[in-house]
């Protein structure tokens, strides 16, 4: 069985809720949110309203840079600053061999969530690229000027 994944998001923050002068305001950065969904084979696997998209974007950004720099596929674990991580990561990618598992502690359904490694990596890199473009267009900002100020517990 070949799995397909779709990452979908819709901004819930107002367009004027983020601008250049707010780049160092942590609460403003964490309040930028979306409804974020992950579909596996058209079934809703993950849905979160008020998803802190800038924090998630920073995790994707740093992960992408690490794998491009080191030419090695690392596990990906997204933990929100606002969430107690005792249960585990909100979203994880766990590579093994030529496969990779997508996992969420907030999964809507138990689905077969193993993908071809190259496929899911390329989908996540495309998600990071799309998120950057959409965030910059929606808020009329340059993310490069915000990225260092976005809080994150990202550890590789």
Residue 81, pLDDT score: 82
For 52-67, how does the pLDDT look when each residue is reduced to its tens digit (9 = 90+)? 999 999 999 999 999 9
Cα separation of 81 and 27, whole Å?
A: 11
For 146, residues 6+ apart whose C-beta sits below 8 A from its C-beta are 23, 29, 54
Residue 139, pLDDT score: 96
The pLDDT of residue 12 is above 60: yes
Q: Which of 152 and 126 is assigned the larger pLDDT?
A: 126
Distances from the Cα of 36 to the Cα of 50, 68, 101, angstroms: 8, 25, 19
* CB neighbour burial string for 56-72, b if at least 16 within 10 angstroms, e if fewer: bbbbbbbbbeebeeeee
Distances from the Cα of 30 to the Cα of 56, 84, 103, angstroms: 10, 15, 23
The pLDDT of residue 137 is above 90: yes
Cα separation of 64 and 56, whole Å?
A: 12
pLDDT band for position 23 (50/70/90)?
A: confident
Residue 15, pLDDT score: 94
The pLDDT of residue 156 is above 60: no
């Amino acid at each position: 069985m070949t799995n397909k994944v779709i990452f979908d998001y819709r901004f819930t923050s107002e367009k004027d809720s983020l601008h250049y002068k707010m780049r160092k305001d942590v609460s403003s950065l964490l309040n930028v949110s979306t409804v974020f969904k992950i579909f596996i084979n058209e079934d809703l696997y993950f849905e979160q309203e008020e998803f802190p998209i800038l924090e998630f974007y920073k995790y994707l950004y740093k992960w992408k840079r690490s794998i491009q720099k080191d030419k090695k596929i690392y596990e990906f674990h997204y933990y929100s600053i606002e969430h107690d991580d005792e249960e585990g990561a909100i979203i994880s990618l766990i590579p093994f061999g030529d496969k990779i598992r997508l996992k969420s502690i907030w999964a809507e359904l138990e689905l077969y969530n193993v993908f071809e490694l190259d496929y899911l990596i390329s989908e996540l890199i495309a998600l990071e690229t799309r998120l950057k473009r959409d965030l910059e267009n929606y808020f009329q900002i340059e993310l490069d000027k915000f990225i260092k100020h976005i809080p994150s517990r990202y550890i590789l």
